[in-house]
Chains A and B, each alone.
Chain A
Amino acid sequence: MEWETVIGLEIHVQLATKSKIFSGSSTAYGAAPNTQASAIDLGMPGVLPVLNEDAVRMAVKFGLAIGAKIAPRSVFARKNYFYPDLPKGYQISQYELPVVEHGVLDIDLEDGSTKRIGVTRAHLEEDAGKSLHEDFEGMTGIDLNRAGTPLLEIVSEPDLRSAKEAVAYMKKMHSLVRYLEISDGNMQEGSFRCDANVSVRPKGQKEFGTRAEIKNLNSFRFVERAINYEVERQIDLLESGGTVVQETRLYDAQKNETRSMRTKEEANDYRYFPDPDLLPLDIEPAFIDAVRETLPELPDEKRDRFMKEYELPAYDAGVLTASRELAAFYEHVVQESGRQGKLSANWVMGDLLGALNKAGLDITESPVTPQMLGGMLKRIQDNTISGKIAKDVFEAMWNGEGEADEIIEKRGLKQVTDTGAIEAMIDEVIAANPQQVEQYKAGKDKLMGFFVGQVMKASKGKANPAQVNELLKQKLG
């Protein structure tokens, strides 16, 4: 039987506010345990929550970016359950009335087409603390620094049909929240994590199969692997006459498998009800308008513009707009290079990203600045250096030897364009290789490459290759 995979993702994004969603504690990552847990975060008796304005602003910004409806009134509810990393015994979240509803995100598929994925909703909630399972003589340690960090939970429609699509969606979302500057998107630190609802059904069947929820996937690679594993598990199960159980599963990256979370528990009954300590969140049109003013150019808009303005192929434009920083870097290079769109794209995507990748550096940490790279491209353009020599110049810039002009000067890399000088070198080469000249004249055209190579060698690579070609042809008749 042929099977179809159905996936919906719930992405949890930590919002980049300075303080927590309901208290004035810092959200900075990496502090000593419980030093950023205030009376409110600890759920001390008598404390009360007050909502952070920037958390709301960021949620609205996100909603606008995915073309969603911003709810004029949304409500915070309590999700009740007992867990040691949940200090109040309930999580404040939005349940029936979320702040953002009905948005869309377009993802690019491998075959070059795009697919529109529905975003059911996005709601504000507070993060929980962390349980540390290192051994404290058989005890678990609880750190509540993270408790109360604002989260935006983004829930997709079950529109994704493969692990690859799920990853493409997640990457696009990751890029978007960073563009919007509403999250640092740091996956190692847990700022961007994902739960995947996965089911399979016979191809052509309308009803969804029973789904399993895979919790806490914190890398693109894990999402892909976990979904692939899970899909195979479900298909094997169904094909051997079994049934899929609706349950929560955990992905074990080491073993590359998902396994059932041991919930001997009854099905959870969260007893949601509106939090009486908080009032309805009313968002006025003026507030939305003010947020709209702060929206940056979004990735898709930027990609289209790059294609048009810099005459880039879709692929290049897509790569260069994947992050706001990279796009800005590229545009800066274009500007410095005398508006050479494609050449700039080739160098940024090729040598620069390659070197950064190898060194494990981010675009913002590049030792070669846009000015430096653009300056070098200018020298290619005006024939001061060849593309080949440029590779050496780039390497020298990377190693901190200065700007392109400096390096060209110091190392004497300036291209030789003086016809007389090139002719002299050609004459020497012809004189030194009579046999090859004979053969060439007898019709062995392929030897032209040999002559060009010899001349370039004699010039130490500095002769202008186009000129060398031209003059050789004349001389060899």
Chain B
Amino acid sequence: MHRVAVIGVGCTRVGELWDKSLKDLIVESATKALDDAGIDKVDIVYVGNAYSKILQTQGNLGSFTVDSLGFEGIPAVSIEAADCSGSLAFHEAYKAVRSGLVGKALVVGVEKMSDSSPEEVAKALMSCEDQDYVAFTGVTQPGLHALVLRLYMETFKVKHEEIAEFTVKAHKNASNNPYAQFKNPLKVEDVLRSPILADPLRLLEYTTVADGSAALVLCSIEEAEKMGKKPVVEVLGSASATDKLYLPERIGKLSFNATREAAKKAFEEAKFSVDKVNFVETHDSSTIMGVISLEDLGFVGKGRGASLVVEGGIEIDGKIPTNTMGGSKGRGNPVGATGVYQLVEAVLQLRGEAGKNQVKDAKIGLTHTIAGVGNFATVNILGCL
């Protein structure tokens, strides 16, 4: 088994990027990552994307990506697992490099959503759920999050404004992130006064249409040293896990097995526990998912996630700095690319390049992506070498 390093990262700005196509996005992030690594060739490409088949009718993204980059002949793997697509692509690339079968791997996460109508996007967002018995009811993806939000507030007697605070913190961190989608500061009243998407979930509690791409280059530490490089960031643990697709079967727990299982496996591999983690990039596809994720990852007890947020525990200088570059709400959520953005942000933190949002003495970071309302999760742990 080989120790694996991240030797290059790159990403595009996140937003409604009207002048950029799927290909433009891929090439921009991938070439930045290759330049950052100081290489121009890799042995394999892993692409994470959730919706190109639905929104662009563009399939076969492996070949599409390799060809866009002017590479030829190398293998490529295209991975779809909704919001976990990008982080799962990373996980699979990691396993390949760790095994020794692959030398240098490029991971690209990409999503292009702004070309499509709101109806098409809503349909795409529901594609990670059971079509015959969940989508058929007419529920939307925000509607599913709202079901969890209401039950959580009722069960733990938590106020909506406490949970909505997650968005306030997200926008605050995003304001210092040059590639974030939403840099405007918000007050909790703004969040609670925004239009209702699906009661009780408000517009500003949920992520929106975004385009973006992020990329990184992985290789073994030996390989990096052979190239005369001194890698800074190592992958210490990486895992993914699934859970039942039908939310009603598991909603009562208000906790997601997929997250807990992936975290357990990733920490087993890293051989330390959650108290060693200096910062976390989690997937606040909605405020409530952010809150529950903090609990499921073990940063705070069950039903206490919102209190941690309100008390400032997730701020840059807090107990566990969370979504340091704005998270999915602030940086934006180009779905299949989101997991790779998190990893890029974690690498920037570990290299001390996070600018105004730099976490002091950041040595170990955790990234966590969750698909839909918990049917799939990935957890990655990175550390300084």
A, B bound: no
Q: Which B positions have Cβ atoms within 8 angstroms of A?
A: none
Q: Which A positions have Cβ atoms within 8 angstroms of B?
A: none
